[in-house]
Amino acid sequence: MLLRSITLHNIRSYLHESVAFPEGSILLAGDVGAGKSTILLAVEFALFGIQRSHTSGAALLRHGKNEGSVELAFSVGNAGYIIHRTLKRGASVQQGAGYIIADGRKKEGTAVELKSIVLGILGYPLELVSRGKDVIYRYTMYTPQEEMKQILFEDTELRLDTIRKIFGVDKYKQVKENCQLATRDIKERTRISQARIADLPEKITIRAAEEQAFREVRASLEQLLPQAASLRGRIQQQKTTLDHLQAQLRSHLEMQAQLRSMQSIRAAKEKQISGIVQQADQLAAQMHILRMLPAPQYTREHIAQEIAAHKSKIAGQEHELNDVLLRHQKHTLHHSRSEQIIRDISSLSTCPVCKQDVGEEYKHRIIAGEEQKIQEHALQIAQMEDIRNAIEANRTHFRRLLEYWQQEQQQLAVHQVQAARLQEHTVREKEMQQQRSHLASELEQLDQDMQRLMQMLTATSSLEAQFHEEQRQMDILLKEEQRLLIMQAKLEHDIQGKQQLITQLTAEIAAREGAQRTIYRLQQIQHWLELTFINLMDVMERHIMLSIFRQFNELFQQWFSSLIEDERLNVRLDDSFTPVIEQNGYEAFLEQLSGGEKSAVALAYRLSLNTVINSFMVGIQTKDIIILDEPTDGFSSEQLDKIRDVLEQLQMRQVIIVSHESKIESFVQHVIRIQKQEHVSSVMG
C-alpha cells in the first residue's frame, strides 16, 4: 500500500487542505502543534472510521463546524482507490455516509461497510470490523510514539494479550477458554443425563407387566371374534330375506302408485275431452262470423297500380313546385337588387372610382331602367305565385286519392288475414275431432289396465305384515351384534392403549439407554479435552510465541544497537516480551533511562514489531509503508544521525516521518512543511 494524497475539510485545525504523498521518504515538518499528527489521524479515520478507543468524532471535527470530511487516495499494487468519509454534528458528532472508488466504480456505504471493504483491500482479518482499535495497523503502519511507549510500561499480562491479538495467537487462548466452557457444559449434561436414567429399572418392570396384560386381552378378543363372525352370517341371511320381501313390497307399492297415477290420468283425459268439446263450439261460432264477411271490390294488383300512379303524380307536382319556387326566389332577388340600386344612385353625388361628379340626367336614366326591371320582376313574381297555388291544389287532390287507395289496400290485407284464419279454424276443427276420438280410445284402455292392477294388488295384500315380522327378527340380531361390537371395540381399545403404553415405555427405555451411551461418549470427550486437546493448544501457543519471540528479540537488539552505540547499554526481551535493560552488566529499570534512550527503546520495539508482523502475517498489503510519529523525541544530535541508517535499512517504498527536528530534512527525499496561523493549519508551498 502507498498513500497518494489526502484532502481535509474542517478537520481539527484544517479548513480545507490537500496533501500529496510522493514515493520515498517524506518528512512532515513544522512546529509543535502545527497540525502534523492531524494528517496521520485523518489517514487512519479515512481508512477505518472513528476509533472510539483513542480518537472520537468530536476530536476530529473542527470546533464551530457542523460538517467535515476526509478523502484519501491510495494504491495497492497496480490498483488505485479513493475513499471518502464524512462527519456531522448533531447531539454528538457522528459519521455520515461515505463512498469508495475502485477501478473507476463508485460504491456508497455506511461507516462499517466501508471499513469492511478497506480491511479486505489491505488483507487484514475481517474480525477487526467489530473491534474499536485496529491493532495490526497501529503496530505495522502507524503508531503514535507515546502509544508505543505505553506498551512498554503497561502490565505484563496486558502486553502479552496485546501481542497475542496482533499475531492472532489469542485464538489459542480463546480455544482453551472455550474448551473449559465446553467441559463444564459436558459435566452439566452428564449430570442431567444421569438424573434422567435413574428410573430405567422401574420402566423395564412396568413394561413387562403391560406386555402380560396385553397378551391376556388379546386372548379374550380372539375368543370373541368367531362368535361375531357367526352372528354376521345369520344377519346376512336375514338381510337377504328382507331384501327379497322388500323388493316384493316395493313392487306392491309401485302398483298402488301406478293405480293412483292411472286414476289421475283418466280424470285428466276426461277433463281434456270436456275442454275439446267447449273449444269446438267456440271455433264453430268464429267460423260462422268469418264466412259472413263481404268480399273485396278490387284486386291487389289494381290497388297497387293506382297507388303507384298517384305517388308518381304527387312526385311530379312536387318537382314542378320546387322549380316554380326557385324561379320565384330568383325574381324576388332581382327585384330587391334593383330597389337597392335606385337607393344607392339616388344618394350618389361623386363616382367612387373616377372621383367625378354624377349628373342628375345620368342618375335619372339609371333609375328609370331599374324601375322598368322592377315592374317586369313583379309581374313574373305574381305569375309564379298563381302557378304555385294551382300546383298545390292538384297535389292535395292527388294525396286524397292516394289515401283512398291505401285504405283499400289495408282492407284487402285484413280480408286475406280473415280468410287464412278461417282456413286454420277448419283444420283445427278436424284435429280436435281426431283428438277426441283418440282420447276416448285411451280411456277405454285405461279402464282395462286399472281393473288388472286392482286384481294384482288384492293378491299381494299380506306382504306388509310378513315384512314387519322379518324386520323384528332382524332388529334382535342387530342388537346382539351391537353388544358384541361394543365388547370387541373395548377389547381393541384396551389392546391399542396397551400397545401405545408399551411403545411409549420402549421409547423411554431406549432414550434412557441412549442417554447411558451419551454419558459414556461425553465422559470420553471430557477426558480427551482435559488431558489432550487443551495441552495441545498450550504446546502450539508456546511454539508460535517462541518463534515470534526469537525473531522479535533478535530484531529488537539489532535496531537498538543501530540507534545507541554504547557497549555498556544492552537490551533484550524477557518471556513476557518486556524490554530488559542491562547497563554495565546489571539490569536497570526502563524508567531510569534518559528521554532519548527511552525513545530509542520504543522505536526499536516498534520497528521490530513491524518487521515480525509483516513476516508472520502473509497477505497484508501494508508492508511497503511505515509512518513514524515523533520517533526522535529526546534524541541527541548523534542519535539523529542514526535515523539516516534506519531509513536505509527499512528498504520501504514509502516512509513518512513526523518531526519538528530540522536535521532530519537532510535524511529524507521529500519535505512537506506545515504551518499554523490564527488557529488554521496549511501546507506551505
- pLDDT bin (cut points 50, 70, 90) of residue 60 is very high
Cα torsion 177, 181, 184, 186 to 10°: value is: -120
pLDDT confidence of residue 10? 95
Taking the C-alpha atoms of residue 318 and residue 485, their distance in angstroms, rounded to an integer, is 108
- CA angle in degrees (0–180, nearest 5) for 262-263-268: 95
What is the tens place of the pLDDT at every residue in 391-424?
A: 888 888 888 888 888 887 787 777 777 777 777 8
**Residue 191 CB neighbour total at 10 angstroms:** 11
Taking the C-alpha atoms of residue 65 and residue 14, their distance in angstroms, rounded to an integer, is 11
Average pLDDT over residues 182-209: 84
DSSP single-letter state for residue 131: -
Q: Which of 26-30, 351-355, 617-621 has the highest mean pLDDT?
A: 26-30
Taking the C-alpha atoms of residue 342 and residue 362, their distance in angstroms, rounded to an integer, is 12
Taking the C-alpha atoms of residue 337 and residue 349, their distance in angstroms, rounded to an integer, is 20
For the residues of 206-267, what is the DSSP string, one character each? Answer: HHHHHHHHHHHHHHHHHHHHHHHHHHHHHHHHHHHHHHHHHHHHHHHHHHHHHHHHHHHHHH
What is the tens place of the pLDDT at every residue in 583-632?
A: 887 887 777 788 788 888 888 888 888 888 877 777 788 888 998 888 87
Helix 170-196, helix 534-563: angle, nearest 10:
170
- Residue 428's alpha-carbon distances to 269, 395, 423, 435, in angstroms, are 19, 49, 9, 10
CB 68 within 8 A of CB 89: no
- Give burial (CB, 10 Å; 0-12/13-18/19+) of 111: middle
CB 223 within 8 A of CB 483: no
Which of the pair, 421 or 121, is modelled with greater confidence? 121
Length of the chain (residues): 685
Measuring CA to CA, which residue among 201, 221, 209 is closest to residue 496?
A: 221
- pLDDT bin (cut points 50, 70, 90) of residue 129 is low
pLDDT confidence of residue 148? 63
Contacts of 262 (CB under 8 A, 6+ apart): 446, 449, 450, 453
The x, y and z cell numbers of residue 28, run together, are 512532515
Taking the C-alpha atoms of residue 155 and residue 139, their distance in angstroms, rounded to an integer, is 18
What is the tens place of the pLDDT at every residue in 220-269?
A: 888 888 888 888 888 888 888 888 878 877 888 888 888 888 888 888 88
Helix, strand, coil abundance in the chain, percent, nearest 5? 70, 15, 15
Average pLDDT over residues 479-483: 86
For the residues of 513-565, what is the DSSP string, one character each? Answer: HHHHHHHHHHHHHHHHIIIIIHHHHHHHHHHHHHHHHHHHHHHHHHHHHHH--
How much is the mean pLDDT over the chain?
84
Query: Among 42-51, 327-336, 482-491, 616-625, which stretch is predicted with the lowest mean pLDDT?
Result: 616-625
Taking the C-alpha atoms of residue 30 and residue 5, their distance in angstroms, rounded to an integer, is 19
CB 148 within 8 A of CB 610: no
Taking the C-alpha atoms of residue 206 and residue 498, their distance in angstroms, rounded to an integer, is 11
Please name the amino acid found at residue 468.
H
The x, y and z cell numbers of residue 109, run together, are 456505504
**DSSP H helical segments within 574-636, as ranges?**
595-616
Measuring CA to CA, which residue among 651, 624, 647 is closest to residue 77?
A: 624
Q: Is the pLDDT of residue 18 over 90?
A: yes
Helix 595-616, helix 156-167: angle, nearest 10:
30
What is the tens place of the pLDDT at every residue in 504-532?
A: 988 888 888 888 888 888 888 888 887 88
> Is this model's pTM higher than 0.85 or not?
no
Taking the C-alpha atoms of residue 539 and residue 635, their distance in angstroms, rounded to an integer, is 42
Percent of the chain with pLDDT over 90: 15
| Distance of alpha carbon 315 from the chain centroid | 79
